Amino acid sequence: MRRISILGATGSIGQNTIDLIRRDRDAYDVVALTGARNVAQLAHDAKDLKADVAVTCHPELLDDLRDALAGSGVEAAAGDAAICEAAARPADWIMSAIVGAAGLPPGLEALKHGTTLALANKESLVTAGPLLLATAAAHGATIMPVDSEHSAVFQGLIGEDINAVERIIITASGGAFRNWPLDKLKTATLTEASTHPNWDMGQRITIDSASMFNKALELIETKEFFGVRPDQIEAVVHPESMIHALVGFNDGALMAHVGPPDMRHAIGFALHWPERKPLPVERLDLAKIGQFTFRAPDLARYPALGLAAEVMEMGGLSGAAFNAAKEQALDGFIAGQIGFLDMAEVVERVLAKMSADQGLQNAQITLDNVADTDKAARRLASDLMQEMG
Ligand code: NAD
Ligand code: MG
């Protein structure tokens, strides 16, 4: 039996992972499940899957979690440190599906124990890519990409020489506002931004898809994970969300990964790698789909893409500052404090200020430095939002 843990088990990726595990439950020994506020879901899944331990990141919810698990034999724990302890429990495969920078410390902890880390938490590559890869290498751990685009690139590279790669093209749906007139974007509401045309995902990544901050994170993620130069990475708008990414080789060939917009493909691929096993995803009927379309992303509509290019050039701790400012700005938008387009403005100003003042570019990427940069960027973003609001 394979021992597995799921960090962020109650979220969209976590629940899709559990769906796959449940279909073949005798094959897995579930070690730890973690969540946040949805203690009822966490307890339900932990009991159902007979996990050893369930952990919420909120210490004030420990009693609720204990009550929900009473008599089940599943251990309850709470707090950020308990999540890291859960990630350190021996397991063969760990899903990293916490949303945001909070996913970094437990992901690193898991890698220190030589496990295979299925990485949905793109923020850990954006904030601390070199640290994550070095930790995996030092401990003989494996990182498997779970973001659909990066899983697609990974699959396009099987049996290939990375030196023969000319470019990597990441597709983008264009999000909720891809057909809106530009001047209307200013007034976009939270409800409007929280609906994705193709994918069913958590609220934060859905809003990040509308602003293309998600694509911005993914471009940086591509650079960090595959080690290619920024000028080799492109984004193209592909409204159908069926081609997830393409790899272009030095002989002009483009290898495209085609599949339905269902995260269970990328999760299942990472779960079964290096084998392929049947997965419960739709089989595409290409004749019925008829056509795939593409267009260049409009940088005026999606300023996040321009910011990603800056971060890729800067390197160092700029990804940590970018991500933290983005998370804070997103909180501000969700809370109604700032407008939709203000998010990019906040991030741009934080990046400009921090790269001028603090030499983000040359700093060493340690967990402490990342945490300090994260804190400073959030503070700056809050101050800016107060000025703007
Ligand atoms: P979600 O909001 O649905 O779920 C997030 C999970 O993290 C939940 O289990 C929640 O309890 C937990 N969590 C939230 N804050 C936490 C904290 N501070 N500490 C510990 N746990 C916390 O998010 P999601 O859509 O499942 O996305 C998870 C990650 O996967 C993100 O990094 C996202 O970018 C990435 N991703 C998601 C999708 C998708 O289809 N949803 C696709 C590709 C990549
Ligand atoms: Mg993606």
One-letter-per-residue 3-state SS of 178-242: CCCCHHHHHHCCHHHHCCCCCCCCCHHHHHHHHHCHHHHHHHHHHHHHHCCCHHHEEEEECCCCC
Which is the closest atom of ligand 1 to the Cα of 121?
Answer: 32
Q: What is the DSSP string of 122-158?
A: HHHHHHHHHHHHHHHHHTT-EEEE-SHHHHHHHHHTT
CB atoms within 10 A of CB 129: 19
Share of the chain above pLDDT 70, in %: 100
Q: How far is the CA of 324 from the centre of ligand 2 (A)?
A: 19
Which structure tokens are listed for 113?
């124990």
CA distance 308 to 218: 9
Q: How far is the CA of 13 from the centre of ligand 1 (A)?
A: 7
Q: Which residues surround ligand 2, an ion (CB under 5 A)?
A: 147-149
Return the residue matching tokens 């901050």.
213
Handedness of CA 362, 223, 108, 75 (dihedral sign): positive
- The residues lining ligand 1, judged by C-beta closer than 6 Å to any ligand atom, are 8-14, 35-36, 57, 83, 97-99, 102, 120-123, 147, 199, 201-202, 204-205, 263
Average pLDDT value for residue range 23-41: 98
pLDDT at 389 over 90: no
CA distance 348 to 38: 34
Which structure tokens are listed for 76?
């309850």
The per-type count for the chain, helices as H runs and strands as E runs, is 16, 11
Best CA proximity match to 259, nearest among 246, 276, 273, 241: 241
Best mutation site among 57, 84, 98, 206 for ligand 1, i.e. most ligand atoms within 8 A of its Cβ?
98
Which is the closest atom of ligand 1 to the Cα of 214?
Answer: 34
191 — pLDDT class (breaks 50, 70, 90): very high
251-293, pLDDT tens digit by residue?
Answer: 999 999 999 999 999 999 999 999 999 999 999 999 999 999 9
Average pLDDT value for residue range 40-58: 98
pLDDT at 359 over 90: no
Average pLDDT value for residue range 325-352: 97
pLDDT at 358 over 80: no
85-100, pLDDT tens digit by residue?
Answer: 999 999 999 999 999 9
Which structure tokens are listed for 280?
């419960």
Which is the closest atom of ligand 1 to the Cα of 148?
Answer: 43
DSSP-derived secondary structure letter, 350: H
CA distance 264 to 273: 14
Which structure tokens are listed for 219?
């471009």
